A and B are shown apart, each in its own frame.
Chain A
Amino acid sequence: MKELFSPNGRPPRTTFALMIAAQGALLLLLWLLYPLRLFPSLGDVLRSLADMVTTQGLIQELWASMSTALQALGAATVVALLISYLTALPFFRPLAYAASKMRYLTLTGLTFFMALMVSSGHEVKLSVLIFATTVYLVTGMTSVILTTTQQEMDHARTLGLGEWRSFCEVVVLGKLDEMLEVVRQNFAIIWTMITLVETLYQSEGGIGLLLYKQNRYLHLDGVVAIQLVILAAGAAQDYLFGLLRRVFFPYSELAAVR
């Protein structure tokens, strides 16, 4: 127990699991018993969730959003990796710098230009998500590349690897696990934008649109239910990315402090 409150403490696994369960139960109790009803009750949320699953196709909408998000993430990852790796060539460094700074742009005006450039609503939705995710991914990926040390590059060079091969060995292969971590962290950004893009082009539906409608008609129980579904989907995604990292990059966490 004392370990739980010691700086850098390392409690036994069972103690830690019990602590998490207790914190969860406390949160649930607070929700159930808190006298000021800021949130809809747990019962209302569960009823609303069941209703949305049966009558409004929540699972299908979630899947529609998830597939759009995955498509956007896949395309954004490829584009961002390309831009980031091209920073090996000084000519392309301004491109990565500019891409990184574009994360400050608001999407509202951009969607108009996107609509002019592509033909269908789905493509507009996708291109907005790809753009917004790419600029964040480039920021994270270039920071990973910048952690490359002189010692790492010198090591590759002393083995007689040429400059491109050294870059490939040290930066591309050597930091692939960290790139996956950047992708995992930035996947959340897609979920924060999905409501915006799905309300702009409503024909394909999506969980963002469902959330927008619930919010608009002040169905707070529905809003909380959808937020919880997104939270659970996000947690599952994080777990999946962690699993991928452990499977494909088993060396990744060997040196980490636990």
Chain B
Amino acid sequence: MTPYFYKSPVLTLDNVSMEFAGEPILRDISAQVLDVCRPGMNQGQVVGFYGRSGMGKSVLCRIMAGLMAPSSGTVLVGQKQHAVAPGAVGFVQQQYPLFNHRTLHDNLLVAAARKYPDAAEARRLADSYLERFQLAAHRKKYPAHLSGGQRQRAAIAQQLLCSDHLILLDEPFSGLDVAMIDEVKKIILEVTTMDELNTVVIVSHDIQTTTALADRLWLLGQERDASGQLVPGATISPQHQYNLAEMGLAWHENVEAEPEFNRFVEYLKDEIRQSA
């Protein structure tokens, strides 16, 4: 098993609940993402939140990104664990939005300008991200001219340029073919190798891919009461929190080919079916 140890928390969800017009959507969600360290490795972490369609994943994303205040509970981010505010967490939405009126390079410059007031420094960083994400050839293009994969890479680069190491991906594998999913996986791993503190939070309904990438996993689902009735509002029950590093299923190059991994995914699927 790969040696590792945990340091300070980088994201904490403490009893987060959300209601719309009295209808509970999320209920008492608690989870903590810790900065994981592997001796001799300079790599951040990937954690996953799995939830079926309509389970309130996008609401959870907006809460974690500080775009929406929960009805109750708190979200703390960063090493100093301060309350989340818009801009503190990089958030790549499902449609990879960019500013359509700006070229790709300008899109990155807008993002870089916040953290790097020195224009030359912002320009240098934007250029280096374009290179790193293989977008340099498209720097003068408008977003409408980019392919889906290029847009996604650009959206991730944009968020990385202005966020503090924590980046949230809402359904990053949705509607992608196998080759594109491999491409996104590569990008996610690339992001984690850029800085030891970089943490990618995947919120997805793709259990296989999310589990393959993550070292921690939380299943979002509905619980049943004593009479077997579903309790309204999605939550994360204690038995649905998995430490894949502890289980020996994290950081393997081709984990999806391992029988142990596949058995675990089947087990997760059964769990998901039971909470339906």
B4 at the A/B interface (Cβ < 8 Å)? no
Are B144 and A158 interface neighbours, CB within 8 A?
Answer: no
A151 at the A/B interface (Cβ < 8 Å)? yes
Residue from the list A151, A156, A169, A174 in contact with B95, Cβ < 8 A: A151
Interface size on A (CB < 8 Å)?
A: 21
- Within the complex, what minimum Cβ distance (angstroms) separates A63 from chain B? 35
A221 at the A/B interface (Cβ < 8 Å)? no
Please classify the interface of chain A as helix (H, G, I), strand (E, B), loop, or mixed, using the class held by over half of its residues.
helix
B111 at the A/B interface (Cβ < 8 Å)? yes
B82 at the A/B interface (Cβ < 8 Å)? no
Residue from the list A158, A173, A174 in contact with B89, Cβ < 8 A: A158
Contacts of B158 in A (CB 8 A): 159
Residue from the list B89, B91, B110, B143 in contact with A169, Cβ < 8 A: B110
Are A160 and B114 interface neighbours, CB within 8 A?
Answer: yes
Q: How large is the interface on B (under 10, 10 to 19, 20 to 34, 35 or more residues)?
A: 20 to 34
Are B93 and A155 interface neighbours, CB within 8 A?
Answer: yes
Are B101 and A154 interface neighbours, CB within 8 A?
Answer: no
A255 at the A/B interface (Cβ < 8 Å)? yes
Query: 1/0 per residue A139-159: CB within 8 Å of B?
Result: 000000000000110111111
Residue from the list A154, A169, A177 in contact with B99, Cβ < 8 A: A169
Are A250 and B142 interface neighbours, CB within 8 A?
Answer: yes
Query: 1/0 per residue B65-83: CB within 8 Å of A?
Result: 1010000000000000000
Contacts of A250 in B (CB 8 A): 142
A251 at the A/B interface (Cβ < 8 Å)? yes
Contacts of A177 in B (CB 8 A): 101
- Within the complex, what minimum Cβ distance (angstroms) separates B64 from chain A? 11
Are A152 and B145 interface neighbours, CB within 8 A?
Answer: no
Scan residues 99-145 of chain B and give those whose CB is less than 8 A from a CB of chain A.
Answer: 99-101, 110-111, 114-115, 142-145
Give the B-binding residues of A (Cβ under 8 A).
151-152, 154-161, 169-170, 173-174, 176-177, 249-251, 254-255
11 residue pairs A–B, Cβ–Cβ below 8 Å: A151-B95, A154-B62, A154-B91, A154-B93, A155-B98, A155-B99, A158-B86, A158-B87, A160-B114, A169-B110, A173-B99
